[in-house]
Amino acid sequence: LYRPYLHCKVWVCVVFFILHGYGIVIDAGSSRSTLFVYKWPSSRENNTGIVSQHSSCRVKGSGISGYANNPGNAGRSLKTCLEQALHDIPESSHKQTPLYLGATAGMRLPRLNVLTAVADTMRSYRFDFRGAKVLTGQEEGLFGWVTVNYLQENFIKYNWIGQWIKPRKRTVGAMDFGGASTQLTFETTKSMENPNSLMVLKLYEHEYKVYTHSYLCYGRDQVMKKCLASLYKSSTGDNLRISVMNPCMPTGYQTNRTLGFIYNSPCIKEERPTNISDSSIVTFIGSSNPTKCKNYLQEIFDFQSCNFSKCSFNGIYQPRLTGDFMAFSAFYYTINFLKTTLKKDITTPHELEEAAKSICGDSIEQLREKAPTVKIERLVDYCTTSLYIHILTIEGYKFNNETFKNISFQLKVLFYTDLSTPSAQRDPACSMPLRPACPTIGGWTFSLSVPALWNSIPLSLHFALSVAFFKACLKTLLFNCAFGHPPTPTLPDLHPS
């Protein structure tokens, strides 16, 4: 049966499907912010969306939490990247593009005036502003875990015969080391002595029980300040200018810090001495002493308190470590520096400790010779971060000679992942809409899993998904044109029963 308008209708359907939905997420970390543009086809697998990264923009300057004394500048700092997003997304999609900002540990410290200023700036653009939110520690840890396992296809994958399948692989744990906090997250089958550490989520119709904990004030930047505060306690001198030997810095290097810089963080506020002036200057002089440096860093932790059968540190419950782990952010950058500088693999706790001691024992001249391209401000901090990572992973998280081998140190993969849990559905920052599919399939529950190691999902996956939905779309239109009514929309079997 020939219908002359059939070709036109099929063309419209194809164009409608090819148009993607877009979403913008600003990842506001403690030390920097990045704007990400994501896009997705109008399809879901087992009620979970398949998303790819479209573009990104690094916001100039520090993280927004650094604008506590001038909140207006926090909003203005985002404008360049928001303008880029206007160009990266088709103009016809601007009003339908949801825009979110999610702040992590640095903003969990009291800086809500900054969040208000940032929201005002975002609201002035033509996007669909959905909110600016400070993630909880559990959310930050859990989102990193979801992203890591999404990238490794541990939740779902597309097999060679064109089916979505649940891989027979275990999930991997996630270890994040940011500027203000560090997170440990992994799936566990053990009963939890502390139910507050358990999160249950459903992805691709499968349920996962996950342990997660975020240690606020134990990120890289805050650890540096804690170490300086501890060193200052042992100092002597007049109230205006004090010199302190710093065993964590290389000999031949010194730096000046004001007491205001050291004690301006809520993480250090309780340790602030009375009757000091923020403008007083402390000169820290490097002495390259790894043993003393390690002693100062260990004082940051409480390894004794524990009201459970097992604890990490500071009395925090932690079940037994299971499976493989991926460590990213400052974990990766520090370990990669040690490997590159010392030209050796680090596969055991002993090798990590020896590598850290080697770096901590070098003078500034020796470090510059080994790593001539690294900025001096970063170079002098690698002693502290490498020893700290050894203490955190071995004494804190309780990795040993066997389980340490299960850690894979990788580039940063934590961005945003919105979960299809009841709480996520109630959360306005977790309801990114999809453009209706052709044909329309009902029952939307969206879970955003963001690729961060690769710029996009493999083209083969997008192609296979497009072919499947084009067939369903074409079938519906053919029936509609030929018989006057559409059949019940059916899609290819994307997952085996």
Q: How far, in Å, CA of 90 to CA of 133, rounded?
A: 26
Q: Among the residues of 242-318, which ranges form H helices?
A: 259-263, 290-298
Could you tell me the two tokens for 361? 């024992």
d(CA 25, CA 10): 34
Residue 371, CB-side half-sphere exposure with 13 Å CA sphere: 23
Helical (H) or strand (E) element with 409: strand 407-409
Amino acid at 334: T
Here the tokens at position 108 are: 């969990």
CB 296 within 8 A of CB 227: yes
What is d(CA 34, CA 434) in angstroms, rounded to the nearest whole number? Answer: 23
Question: Is 140 a known active-site residue?
Answer: yes
- Listed residue (465, 450, 412) closest to 24, CA to CA: 450
84 marked as binding residue: no
Q: How far apart are CA 96 and CA 256, in angstroms?
A: 50
Residue 182 among known ligand-binding residues = yes
Question: Alpha-carbon distance 188 to 145, whole Å?
Answer: 13
Q: In b/e form, how buried is each residue of 150-166, taking b as 16+ CB within 10 angstroms? A: bbbebbbebeeeeebee
Per annotation, catalytic residue among 45, 83, 139, 140 = 140
Largest CA distance in the chain: 97
CA nearest 381: which of 276, 495, 246?
246
CA 318 to chain centre: 21
Beta bridge partners of 158: 164
Whether residue 180 is annotated as binding a ligand: the answer is yes
What is the amino acid identity at position 285?
A: I
Rounded to 10 deg, the angle between the 220-233 and 382-390 helix axes is: 100
Quote the tokens at residue 380. Answer: 């002098």
Residues forming the annotated binding site? 179-183
Residues forming the annotated binding site for ATP? 179-183
Instruction: Enumerate the active-site residues.
Output: 140
